[in-house]
């Protein structure tokens, strides 16, 4: 028999081409689905080449040996394709490998019995050589045991087709074509192997031709229909590497899918770890989020903050698959919020003391038309220039910061505001009557004098302040109130400092 004629040349090209493509697919980046598809293609190529050698050989024992080796890819390819179908839907490499290991047990038994058949004769009752299209081909008479084990690869192929078709309805519409076309391609060898002989159509190397064609068609399907499922990054990997937390849940609020970012978010905001969120209730996992008590009923967008983390959360329904499924997206905006808060602080806070700056304090005063019973206190540190000249500006800054700290401590309360108006001058807007305002002012003075050494051990004298107070009415402008308090404060200065003076009404 001529080694190179049109038909064998076609098989040579198909076999070698399959093996070359398989080698290319095994290059990084490697995914299990891609690897299984590559190995199936490589085995199909090997199957074709072994068949070519059988067709052109004239030695009976060589032909039988080649037929035995052809059984290896014939029974292993369906196992790999089953794993490919499972990984195409949802990646879980360890679980898939464990499943394939169990599925391979009957195949190992089949191959072991086949290769040891000359010793026990359990697999074949006889072997004959037939001629098809002028090619010599081995024909075997199988035993019932061989027939039983030989059905197993077909069962695996049917199971693969079922998994692909079932999962087709669980993926977005744009990915369904990969599943149903893959199922159709895997059906072709079964149909050709069963239907063509029934129609008395004989083709030499039919099994190898069918499986080789199937492998190449699967490559084309995944290349053209769904590039990312196998070539080179999976959709699952994309989902897992998103910085946003993605949660899919059903109409009862049960979580169907959650990516890695969700687990990190929950660990950060609740200080808790979950091994799995699947089948958990959304309202239970996020029990402090009122918007998620009944998450499925409507789409919404809300802001959430906890433990210093800020999130923009969107809940939307997914209607493209006809399923009652919603998606929740948690976008971490902590960095953005921190910048926003820093800008807000720069706009409203004094950079040294962190009190309200003059502009923010004036806005607060103007936006409070109903001032009720209130007083404005103007506070000035006595001899502050002397502190700076004697101890340096670093100690002067410490005096300012400690003064601000005590002001907030003493005058904190509903409706009260504390500001640094400039230099060593501070202001307090206080909701209180005259007696309470004076009492608080004197309490502050005493605390500051008592804590002078806490500011810095190098300070030898007491830090004192002069305070001018003015009663505030709703109609009073800040300029008038400030002027009156300033007059009272200078009376305290001229009266010996470290005093509190109350101004006459504006």
Predicted confidence at residue 487, as pLDDT, reads 94
343 belongs to a structural domain:
no
Predicted confidence at residue 371, as pLDDT, reads 66
Strands (E), 253-338: 255-258, 300-306, 309-318, 325-332
441 and 379 share a domain?
yes
Q: From the first residue on, what is the mean pLDDT of each consecutive set of 10 residues in the chain (506 residues)?
A: 73 90 79 88 92 88 92 94 87 89 94 92 88 85 91 93 86 74 89 86 86 85 53 63 87 85 89 82 84 70 88 82 77 87 82 90 81 88 88 90 93 87 93 92 93 85 93 87 93 92 78
Cβ distance 325 to 389 under 8 Å? no
20 and 167 share a domain?
yes
Length in residues, the chain: 506
1 belongs to a structural domain:
no
Predicted confidence at residue 226, as pLDDT, reads 44
Task: Choose among 176, 177, 201: nearest CA to 191.
Answer: 201
Percent of the chain that is helix, strand, coil (3-state, to 5)? 55, 15, 25
82 and 210 share a domain?
yes
Predicted confidence at residue 173, as pLDDT, reads 66
Number of domains present in the structure of the chain: 3
Cβ distance 396 to 487 under 8 Å? no
Domain stops at, among 214, 232, 250: 232
Predicted confidence at residue 331, as pLDDT, reads 92
131 belongs to a structural domain:
yes
Structural domain boundaries, residue 138 = 6-232
375 and 333 share a domain?
no
What angle, 0 to 180 degrees and rounded to 10, lies between the N-to-C axes of helices 206-224 and 173-198?
170
Domain stops at, among 310, 337, 364: 337
214 and 273 share a domain?
no
167 and 273 share a domain?
no
249 and 169 share a domain?
no
Distance CA 209, CA 192 (A): 10
456 and 415 share a domain?
yes
273 belongs to a structural domain:
yes
Predicted confidence at residue 441, as pLDDT, reads 94
319 belongs to a structural domain:
yes
269 belongs to a structural domain:
yes
CATH number (domain holding residue 128) = 1.20.1070.10
88 and 167 share a domain?
yes
Cβ distance 78 to 162 under 8 Å? no
237 belongs to a structural domain:
no
Predicted confidence at residue 29, as pLDDT, reads 65
406 and 368 share a domain?
yes
Domain stops at, among 287, 303, 337: 337
CATH number (domain holding residue 293) = 3.30.450.20
396 and 448 share a domain?
yes
483 and 404 share a domain?
yes
Structure tokens of 230?
């196998």
342 belongs to a structural domain:
no
Distance CA 434, CA 218 (A): 88
């Amino acid at each position: 028999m001529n080694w190179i004629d049109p038909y064998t040349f076609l098989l040579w090209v198909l076999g070698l081409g399959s093996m070359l493509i398989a080698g290319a697919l095994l290059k990084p980046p490697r995914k299990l689905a891609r690897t299984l598809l590559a190995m199936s293609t490589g085995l199909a190529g090997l199957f074709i080449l072994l068949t070519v050698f059988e067709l052109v050989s004239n030695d009976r024992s060589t032909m039988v040996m080649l037929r035995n080796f052809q059984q290896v890819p014939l029974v292993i390819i369906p196992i790999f394709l089953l794993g490919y179908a499972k990984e195409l839907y949802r990646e879980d490499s360890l679980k898939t490998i464990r499943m394939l290991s169990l599925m391979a047990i009957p195949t190992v038994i089949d191959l072991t019995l086949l290769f040891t058949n000359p010793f026990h004769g359990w697999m074949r009752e006889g072997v004959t050589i037939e001629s098809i299209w002028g090619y010599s081909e081995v024909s075997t008479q199988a035993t019932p045991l061989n027939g039983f084990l030989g059905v197993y690869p077909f069962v695996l192929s049917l199971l693969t087709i079922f998994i692909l078709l079932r999962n087709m309805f669980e993926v977005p519409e744009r990915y369904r074509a990969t599943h149903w076309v893959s199922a159709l391609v895997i059906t072709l060898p079964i149909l050709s192997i069963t239907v063509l002989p029934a129609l008395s159509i004989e083709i030499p190397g039919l099994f190898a031709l069918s499986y080789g064609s199937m492998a190449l068609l699967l490559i084309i399907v995944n290349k053209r229909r769904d590039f990312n499922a196998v070539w080179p990054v999976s959709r699952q990997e994309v989902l897992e590497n998103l910085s946003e937390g993605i949660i899919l849940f059903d109409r009862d609020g049960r979580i169907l899918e959650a990516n890695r970012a969700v687990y990190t978010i929950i660990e950060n905001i609740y200080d808790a770890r979950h091994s799995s969120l699947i089948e958990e209730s959304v309202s239970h996992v996020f029990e402090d989020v009122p918007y998620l008590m009944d998450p499925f009923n409507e789409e919404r967008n809300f802001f959430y903050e906890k433990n210093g983390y800020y999130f923009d959360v969107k809940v939307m329904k997914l209607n493209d698959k006809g399923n009652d499924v919603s998606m929740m997206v948690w976008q971490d905006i902590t960095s953005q919020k921190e910048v926003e808060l820093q800008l807000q602080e720069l706009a409203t806070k004094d950079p040294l003391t962190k009190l309200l700056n003059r502009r923010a304090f004036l806005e607060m005063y103007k936006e409070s038309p109903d001032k009720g019973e209130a007083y404005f206190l103007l506070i000035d540190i006595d001899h502050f220039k002397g502190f700076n000249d004697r101890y340096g500006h670093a100690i002067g800054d410490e005096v300012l910061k400690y003064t601000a700290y005590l002001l907030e401590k003493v005058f904190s309360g509903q409706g009260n505001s504390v500001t640094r108006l400039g230099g060593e001058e501070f202001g307090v807007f206080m909701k209180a009557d005259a007696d309470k305002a004076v009492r608080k002012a004197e309490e502050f003075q005493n605390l500051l004098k008592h804590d002078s050494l806490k500011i810095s051990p190098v300070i030898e004298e007491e830090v004192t302040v002069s305070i001018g107070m003015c009663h505030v009415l709703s109609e009073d402008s800040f300029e008038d109130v400030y002027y009156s308090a300033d007059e009272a404060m200078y009376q305290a200065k001229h009266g010996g400092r470290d005093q509190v003076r109350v101004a006459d009404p504006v």
